[in-house]
Structure 1
Amino acid sequence: MPIRYKTCLLVDDNYIDNFVTRKILESGNFAEEIIVQQSPQDALESLRDGSVKPDVIFLDIRMPTMSGFEFLEAYDAMNLDNSDKVKIFMLSSSLDPTDIANSGKSRHVARFIHKPLTYEVLEELNT
């Protein structure tokens, strides 16, 4: 499969989930560069200062210091030049219907994906 994206940002506080997701993204040739941030605040700072310019973001919902929804609010408030071109996928183990519904309310979220990310879902994202 050809590489689809230049830069992918993975925002998740769980080291093991990041390890597994990164391996799937790498072996699926999803992006040239995969950047992992365990802190949503650090991810926002990297976006704000321009050191990370992703084409796609995988975002966890339930994180201890800032939820994925709080991240989305802060991301939206930054008014980045390319924010409308960045695809955000909510990647979560949450089965809460409210989380799924709320992820669909953000103009930035392209899709809700249940963890773990699989090759089959990655294929769907590449079509």
Structure 2
Amino acid sequence: MSAPFKLCLLIDDNYIDNFVTTRILDTANFAEKIEVYQSPASAIEALRDGKVKPDVIFLDIRMPLMSGFEFLQEYDKLNIDKNNIKMYMLSSSLDPTDIRKSSDNKYITQFIHKPLTFQVLEDICT
């Protein structure tokens, strides 16, 4: 069975979280390709330059130098087609402000608590 998405972009500074999330995405055959960026600024640059054209983005909130919310501000400035990109805030944050800010952001499809699960991926695909 083919993967429902071509390219999944994972933006998270935590190596262990990236390893676990990537394994779950691979096992679920979620995307044909998964690219991991530990730096939100590098992800913005890759998107701006057209090096990556994801169908789905999983974005962490708490990262050094640039938070997930700061990433979203920079993402908003990009001159790329954003209509076919689903973005999910994937975070361990329990802060109601983070959840509300995510829900209020026009680019965020859903706030998902870490760790990512097969059930969540199944819900995304249906």
Superposition map of 1:86-97 within 5 A: 86-97=85-96
Scaled by the length of structure 1, the TM-score of the pair is: 0.96
Gaps of 5+ in 1: none
Match in the other structure for 1:39: 39
| % identical aligned pairs | 63
Match in the other structure for 1:100: 99
CA deviation map 1:63-98 (0-9, x unaligned): 011110100010011131x21210000000000000
Q: Distance in 1 between matches of 2:4 and 2:108?
A: 18
Q: How many residues were matched structurally?
A: 126
After the TM superposition, list the runs of 4 or more consecutive aligned residues in structure 1 that deviate by more than 4 angstroms: none
CA deviation map 1:81-125 (0-9, x unaligned): x21210000000000000000001111110000000011111111
CA deviation map 1:7-64 (0-9, x unaligned): 0000000000000000000110100000000000000000000001101100000101
Secondary structure of 1:8's aligned partner: strand
Superposition map of 1:39-118 within 5 A: 39-80=39-80, 82-118=81-117
Letter in 2 for 1:60: D
Scaled by the length of structure 2, the TM-score of the pair is: 0.97
Q: Distance in 1 between matches of 2:6 and 2:84?
A: 13
Q: Distance in 1 between matches of 2:4 and 2:69?
A: 26
Gaps of 5+ in 2: none
Match in the other structure for 1:119: 118
Secondary structure of 1:34's aligned partner: strand
Q: Distance in 1 between matches of 2:83 and 2:73?
A: 14
Secondary structure of 1:84's aligned partner: coil
